[in-house]
Amino acid sequence: MPPFLPRKRFSSEDPPPAKRQAQDPAQPFHIDDSDSDSDSSLSDVPEESADGNITPQAPRASDGDEEEEDDDIDWEDAIDTKTTSATTPTLAVPEIQDLELTLDREETHVSDILDGKKGPSKIERLIRTQTHCMHVQCLLFHNAIRNAWINDKKVHEILRQKLPDSIQKEVKKWRIAAGIEIPERKPEPPKSKKKGKKARKKQDWDEESQRLEPGQPDMSGGDPIIPLLKVLAAYWRKQFRITAPGLRKHGYRSVSSIEAILKEFREGDHDPELHGERIANLEEFRSVAERMQGSRDVGAQLFTALIRALDLEGRLVGSLQPLGFGWTRAEIATPPKTENAEKADSDVEAGGFDSETGSEQVRPKANKGHAQYDKDLPFPIYWTEVASPITHQIIPVDPLVLPNPVATTPDFQAAFEPRGAKAERAKQVICYVLAHSADGTAKDVTTRYLRRRTWPGKTKGFRIPVEKIPQPGRRGQYFEYDWFRRIMRGYERNPDRKTKVDEVEDAGDLQPKQPEKKKATQTADTLQSLRQSTEFVLERFLRREEALRPGAEPVRTFTAGRGAKAKEEPVFRRADVVKCMSAESWHKEGRQIQAGAVPLKRVPIRAVTLIRKREVDELQHETGEKPMQGLYALDQTEFIIPPPIEDGRIPKNDYGNIDCFVPSMVPRGAAHVPLPGTVRICKKLGIDYAEAVTGFEFGSKMAVPVIQGVVVAAENEDLLKDAWRIEAAEKRKREELKAEKRILQTWRKFLFGLRIAERVREEYGGDPDADRERDSHNPFAIRKKHQEVQGSDEGHEGAEDPFEESYNPIDHGGGFLLPGEGDDVDDGLIVEEDHDRTSKGPSAKHLSHDSVGEDEESEGLSPPISIPEPDEDDESGYVPLTRNTRRRRRGG
């Protein structure tokens, strides 16, 4: 939304936006930071709130007509039961209806887009982006929960006990080689804390030992952890059985098919093949650890647990597979029909629905026991990163999917990056790769798995890119907004707790490499390479306001097109391109065209305002051709230096004001006082002035000057400023008084209302049940109840509330003014005084900022400091305060 500038005149507190502000630089998605505590103990989460293994769902927003009725009912229910404020429901309902319309349209549009008939609209793009962002965050949290489970001591115990002797031996061998144990010692059950390790290490040093250097790692055969990891990975591959489908990206589906899936998910029994694997809580996680079976994903998670059980630093790595935000084929769900036909015997796809009919496909259930899940996914989605305790290097390990399970070199690491036709068919992507550590923190390690560690690489189009927001007022300077980084802020490890491993990888693996420059400059020119070149340019690429410096020589020639269509074009240096502007534009920069300068370029005049348009049309009519204007380069212009003022007289332009676009346009001997309301003061003081035009506003086919204060002679500057300060102080005082009066009136109205209510109750009595019924909609009654429940301990707040039950209404007129009261300062205040006496409430006289400010409900009703005379006298005598009288009063 462009900044809304209601005023042409800016007050000093309200500086004008620098020229045209960039479109709303606000982030496309608002993320609530409030819960982003990186140290929040994720292990506290008792179970997954929603099954993370549900197949990715299409945006909620594209739900179809059938859902809408439900939505309405939900909303109404919510309003009835949850809303305490009376304003919310009335506001909310029409908004929902608006949304419905949009959604209906969206549905038809999506089908058009899928047919390639139409591009997506802005709102459709937004829905996809939001869906993507939401999905990313859900996946991220899912992984964080799994990571917390992986820390479970019982899971560790289960996995350790399952290790056969041969593996135990390998572990011991490694511990010796790594210098953690000395050979003589019997292998102890590994301690889980590093502290223990260090303590033991020290002990080893102290002890007499046969080994020359017992605590030193043996690096003679490379890092000894690598053979251990290889053994462990081989063991895992052999032992772990893949019995369920894992997470995967399906893409966006038709509403009907999603609804069918949802319906079955809610109503039917849980079918892992259809709804994805479900591990509801830690207990079930322990159970799959015991059985050593599950999806590939769980396999990788349990392997990470095994690594941690062996006292190694292991991270759970997840390559998120979120729904995308683009409109390519990769985002459309592939109907499983063909796949089923292809490999009906081997592959069972989770969520196999015919997107056309929404009916469930006949699945090869007979083969369930032998189904090889996710065989069509050539790359892992979860794996493990192990930190070598010796080198502090990270070694990725994928025991279940890749042919080479232990990725020791960058080449092997790049094998994790999904690529090729098979990955494309399976919709496997790389966009966000996160490593979750044992301490609950997570880290973006995508760079490690990108081929050549070059951004954006394969993440292009699947990961929200860093947004460059131009800084207002500074050309060429950008503020970089990285949505995902902001999301990660809640998960990242505190900078002051960074480990050695962090240090090593931040400087190495995670350091993105600059894309290799495309071989020097002299590779055969293509139109595209020239278009993107920062060094060379073709004349036809020059923008409207760009021109070649006079005398610029072409560097070489470029032949575009082939055969008969071939065309030779000169290639120029970008350095020879200069930016040009019209005389008017230069004027706005405080510069004018030098005498006799010849424009470097002539372009058609762009007229926006009606007047200019008319002028241009007339000219075109006369001459028969488009009127042109000349553009000049910077070196053809000079500063506008207005002549110094004489006798305190300020020169004015045709419109009676002075152009003040830049400070240099203020004449010598004059001063710009950009304060509001200075015109009147100047008139009063009798000094010559001119209103200062600092820019223009455009709207309704008009250009409106923005006026900021005045320009006066320098000798009058202080005089004017002083006068302005005095006036401003007076004005502030007036406003304070006015506000005070308003506040008193509000209090007064409030009290009258209460009196009326009280009197009605007194006179006509009240059925307590009916009262309660009515009170359920009365915000004050609700608040009162709330206080009774909450604050009954001391009654502190309740007692201070002048509208409490204890307030005694007798003899206050019950909403009617008693004789003689009306001409009192404010009858409401008398009540207050009485109240003060009885229940220690704040008396109006003592109402101070603090006493009322404490009461949250009174916000905005800042209390009186002194009591002004009311200037209304219409309330003397018995004047019932009815709606009519109130309206009359408000009306004036």
Partner DNA sequence: CTGTGCAATACCACTTTGCCCCCC
Partner DNA sequence: AGGGGGGCTTTGTGGTATTGCACA
DSSP string, 761-794: HHHH---HHHHHHHHTT-HHHHHHHHHHHHTTTT
Q: Could you say whether residue 698 binds DNA (CB under 7 A)?
A: yes
Please identify which residue in 419, 587, 741, 845 interacts with DNA, judged by CB under 7 A: 587
Min CB(44)–DNA separation in Å: 42
Q: Could you say whether residue 22 binds DNA (CB under 7 A)?
A: yes
For 621, what's the count of Cα atoms within 13 Å in the CB-facing half-sphere?
6
Q: Could you say whether residue 659 binds DNA (CB under 7 A)?
A: yes
Q: Which is nearer to DNA, 677 or 795 (CB)?
A: 677
Q: Could you say whether residue 764 binds DNA (CB under 7 A)?
A: no
Judged by CB under 7 A, the stretch of 112-120, 220-228, 820-828, 864-872 that binds DNA is: 112-120
Please identify which residue in 28, 470, 570, 669 interacts with DNA, judged by CB under 7 A: 470
Q: Could you say whether residue 326 binds DNA (CB under 7 A)?
A: yes
Q: Could you say whether residue 23 binds DNA (CB under 7 A)?
A: yes
Q: Can you tell me the distance from the alpha carbon of 430 to that of 463, in angstroms, rounded to the nearest whole number?
A: 8
CB 458 within 8 A of CB 430: yes
| Structural Rg of the chain based on CA atoms | 38
Enter the tokens of residue 602.
């002539």
Q: Could you say whether residue 608 binds DNA (CB under 7 A)?
A: yes
Q: Could you say whether residue 683 binds DNA (CB under 7 A)?
A: yes
Q: Could you say whether residue 607 binds DNA (CB under 7 A)?
A: yes
Q: Could you say whether residue 652 binds DNA (CB under 7 A)?
A: no
Q: Can you tell me the distance from the alpha carbon of 679 to that of 709, in angstroms, rounded to the nearest whole number?
A: 7
Q: Could you say whether residue 745 binds DNA (CB under 7 A)?
A: no
Please identify which residue in 161, 328, 514, 623 interacts with DNA, judged by CB under 7 A: 328
Min CB(546)–DNA separation in Å: 7
Q: Could you say whether residue 205 binds DNA (CB under 7 A)?
A: no
Min CB(101)–DNA separation in Å: 18
Q: Could you say whether residue 6 binds DNA (CB under 7 A)?
A: yes
Q: Could you say whether residue 621 binds DNA (CB under 7 A)?
A: no
Judged by CB under 7 A, the stretch of 85-93, 600-608, 666-674, 845-853 that binds DNA is: 600-608
Nearest to 245 by CA among 143, 383, 428, 374: 374
Please identify which residue in 45, 292, 704, 781 interacts with DNA, judged by CB under 7 A: 704
Min CB(526)–DNA separation in Å: 3
10 Å CB burial of residue 567 (0-12, 13-18, 19+) is: exposed
Q: Which residue has the tokens 């053809």?
A: 636
Q: Can you tell me the distance from the alpha carbon of 685 to that of 726, in angstroms, rounded to the nearest whole number?
A: 13
Min CB(125)–DNA separation in Å: 6
Min CB(1)–DNA separation in Å: 7
For the chain, counts of helices (H) and of strands (E): 28, 22
Between the CA atoms of 86, 92, 94 and 97, what dihedral angle is there, to the nearest 10 degrees? Answer: -150
Q: Could you say whether residue 585 binds DNA (CB under 7 A)?
A: yes
Please identify which residue in 703, 729, 737, 879 interacts with DNA, judged by CB under 7 A: 703
Enter the tokens of residue 826.
């404010």
Q: Is the dihedral of CA 388, 391, 397, 399 positive or negative?
A: negative
Q: Binding string, 125-164, against DNA, x = CB under 7 A?
A: x---------------------------------------
Sheet holding 689-699, edge to edge: 657-659, 689-699, 702-713, 670-673
Min CB(721)–DNA separation in Å: 17
Q: Could you say whether residue 561 binds DNA (CB under 7 A)?
A: yes
Min CB(19)–DNA separation in Å: 7
Q: Could you say whether residue 772 binds DNA (CB under 7 A)?
A: no
Please identify which residue in 134, 504, 527, 555 interacts with DNA, judged by CB under 7 A: 527
Enter the tokens of residue 180.
């953690």
CB 512 within 8 A of CB 447: yes
Identify the three-state secondary structure at position 195.
helix
Rounded alpha-carbon distances, angstroms, from residue 141 to 100, 148, 721: 30, 11, 58
Min CB(624)–DNA separation in Å: 17
- The values of phi and psi at residue 677, to 5°, are 80, 15
User: Helices 87-114 & 122-150, crossing angle to 10 degrees?
Assistant: 100
Q: Can you tell me the distance from the alpha carbon of 581 to that of 271, in angstroms, rounded to the nearest whole number?
A: 68
Min CB(689)–DNA separation in Å: 12
Enter the tokens of residue 167.
């593996």
With a CB cutoff of 8 Å and minimum separation 6, the contacts of 589 are 581, 661, 662
Min CB(90)–DNA separation in Å: 22
Min CB(257)–DNA separation in Å: 23
Q: Which is nearer to DNA, 560 or 861 (CB)?
A: 560
Q: Can you tell me the distance from the alpha carbon of 694 to that of 666, in angstroms, rounded to the nearest whole number?
A: 11
Q: Can you tell me the distance from the alpha carbon of 384 to that of 397, in angstroms, rounded to the nearest whole number?
A: 5
CB 713 within 8 A of CB 671: yes
Q: Can you tell me the distance from the alpha carbon of 110 to that of 251, in angstroms, rounded to the nearest whole number?
A: 13
Please identify which residue in 294, 378, 676, 842 interacts with DNA, judged by CB under 7 A: 676
Min CB(564)–DNA separation in Å: 10
Per CB under 7 A, contacts with DNA among 774-813 are: none
Q: Could you say whether residue 604 binds DNA (CB under 7 A)?
A: yes
Q: Could you say whether residue 702 binds DNA (CB under 7 A)?
A: yes
Please identify which residue in 4, 87, 341, 770 interacts with DNA, judged by CB under 7 A: 4
Q: Could you say whether residue 26 binds DNA (CB under 7 A)?
A: no
DSSP string, 51-91: -TTSPP---GGG--HHHHHHHHHHHHHHHHHH---SHHHHH
Q: Could you say whether residue 689 binds DNA (CB under 7 A)?
A: no
Enter the tokens of residue 587.
């004027």
Rounded alpha-carbon distances, angstroms, from residue 357 to 99, 196, 354: 26, 61, 6
Min CB(745)–DNA separation in Å: 16
What single DSSP character describes residue 293? Answer: E
Q: Can you tell me the distance from the alpha carbon of 756 to that of 772, in angstroms, rounded to the nearest whole number?
A: 18
* Beta-ladder partners of 697: 704
Min CB(7)–DNA separation in Å: 6
Q: Could you say whether residue 119 binds DNA (CB under 7 A)?
A: yes
Q: Could you say whether residue 544 binds DNA (CB under 7 A)?
A: yes
Q: Could you say whether residue 543 binds DNA (CB under 7 A)?
A: yes
Nearest to 417 by CA among 397, 444, 447, 461: 447
Please identify which residue in 195, 370, 562, 883 interacts with DNA, judged by CB under 7 A: 562
Judged by CB under 7 A, the stretch of 42-50, 294-302, 311-319, 609-617 that binds DNA is: 609-617
In whole angstroms, what separates CA 206 from the centre of its chain? 55
Q: Could you say whether residue 191 binds DNA (CB under 7 A)?
A: no
Q: Which is nearer to DNA, 222 or 561 (CB)?
A: 561
Q: Could you say whether residue 887 binds DNA (CB under 7 A)?
A: no
Judged by CB under 7 A, the stretch of 59-67, 380-388, 397-405, 525-533 that binds DNA is: 525-533
Site size toward DNA (CB under 7 A) is 67
Please identify which residue in 479, 655, 780, 878 interacts with DNA, judged by CB under 7 A: 655
Residue 231 CB: number of other CB atoms within 10 A? 18
Between the CA atoms of 676, 679, 681 and 686, what dihedral angle is there, to the nearest 10 degrees? Answer: 160
Q: Which is nearer to DNA, 81 or 700 (CB)?
A: 700
Q: Is the dihedral of CA 77, 83, 84, 90 positive or negative?
A: negative
Please identify which residue in 657, 694, 708, 716 interacts with DNA, judged by CB under 7 A: 657
Q: Could you say whether residue 522 binds DNA (CB under 7 A)?
A: no
Q: Can you tell me the distance from the alpha carbon of 866 to that of 115, in angstroms, rounded to the nearest whole number?
A: 72
Binding site for DNA (CB under 7 A): 1-2, 4, 6-9, 19-20, 22-23, 116, 118-122, 125, 326-328, 470, 526-529, 543-546, 560-563, 565, 582, 584-585, 587-588, 603-604, 606-609, 611-612, 653, 655, 657, 659, 676-677, 679-680, 683, 693, 696, 698-705
